Amino acid sequence: MPSSTVEQYIKIIYTQQEHLGRSVVPMKRLSEAMGVTPGTATTMVKHLDDVKLVSYHPRQGVLLTTKGENLALRMLRRHRLIETFLEQVLGYDWSEVHTDAERLEHAVSDRFIDKLEQYLGYPDVDPHGDPIPSSSGSIESAISVPLNACGADRRVRIVRLLDDDPEFLVCMKSYLIFPGQEFILKNSSAITGTVTLEHSDTLKPVTIGYDAAGRILVSER
């Protein structure tokens, strides 16, 4: 049975691998994401390689094995089902769910997660639009593009937000930017570095920065 520390490393390696596109995750990246010193990450990664959860390429980086990927998906499943529960059932704000899920994910049993999933009615995404892996480990994300890579005058539907920062989330919610909401993309200017949207119901205009828009995934329609 993996310790919560191991679980956390594996989950972070997965998300970093996904985020980097490239396959190997360098130690600096990993240590920063884990909040530990680089030396600590190196030591741990060697151990993870020993137990076949990752393959370690000295001086280059680390890569999940299939076994590691399975564990990562199980952790993501736990994390996202718990977040969904906290928001939909216990009434947390979506900016608060992440912190608590971060601890709970390491304390729940498989029985708990399977019953929770059933109780929630088999949701396929969490409050941030992150897809929830099935118990068999399959995961499918809706097709989407970053908001800053979208053509102007398009009608878009918010699909997912790639940021856990509570401040960011509170702010987005106040603009009605959360999964399911629809907007018209009025203007997207690489020169000024802004993206302007108009909510399809309220018609309220919102302007956000280019990099923030990069963390918002939408589907064009």
Partner DNA sequence: GCTACGTATTTGACTAGTCAAAATATAGTA
Partner DNA sequence: TACTATATTTTGACTAGTCAAATACGTAGC
What one-character DSSP code corresponds to residue 25? Answer: B
Handedness of CA 85, 86, 92, 93 (dihedral sign): negative
- Residue from 3, 59, 66, 91 in contact with a second copy (CB under 8 A): 91
Alpha helices (runs of H) in the chain, residue ranges in sequence order: 4-20, 27-34, 38-50, 66-88, 97-104, 110-120, 166-174, 210-213
**Nearest approach, Cβ of residue 76 and DNA (Å):** 19
- Return the one option of Mn ion, DNA, a second copy, none that residue 38 interacts with (CB less than 5 to 8 A, by type): DNA
> Angle at CA 144, nearest 5°, toward 34 and 191?
85
- The H or E element containing residue 193 is none
Site string (69-88) toward Mn ion, x via CB under 5 A: --------------x-----
Question: Would you say 53 and 64 are in contact if contact means Cβ atoms under 8 Å apart?
Answer: yes
Candidate list 24, 34, 36, 116; residue touching a second copy; CB under 8 A:
116
Place of tokens 């639009």: 129
Report the nearest approach of a second copy to the CB of residue 107 (Å). Answer: 4
207's contact among Mn ion, a second copy, DNA, none, with CB below 5 to 8 A by partner kind, is none
Q: Which two tokens stand for residue 32?
A: 């920063």
Q: Does 58 bind DNA (CB under 7 A)?
A: yes
> Nearer to a second copy by C-beta: 19 or 103?
103
Q: Say what the alpha-carbon torsion angle 59, 23, 99, 86 is, to the nearest 10 degrees.
A: -160
* Binds DNA by CB under 7 A, chosen from 19, 22, 23, 46: 46
- Which residues make up the interface to Mn ion (CB under 5 A)? 8, 83, 102, 126, 128, 130
- Which residues make up the interface to DNA (CB under 7 A)? 3, 5-6, 26-29, 34-40, 42-47, 58-61
- Which residues make up the interface to a second copy (CB under 8 A)? 86, 89-92, 96, 99-100, 103-104, 106-109, 111-112, 115-116, 119
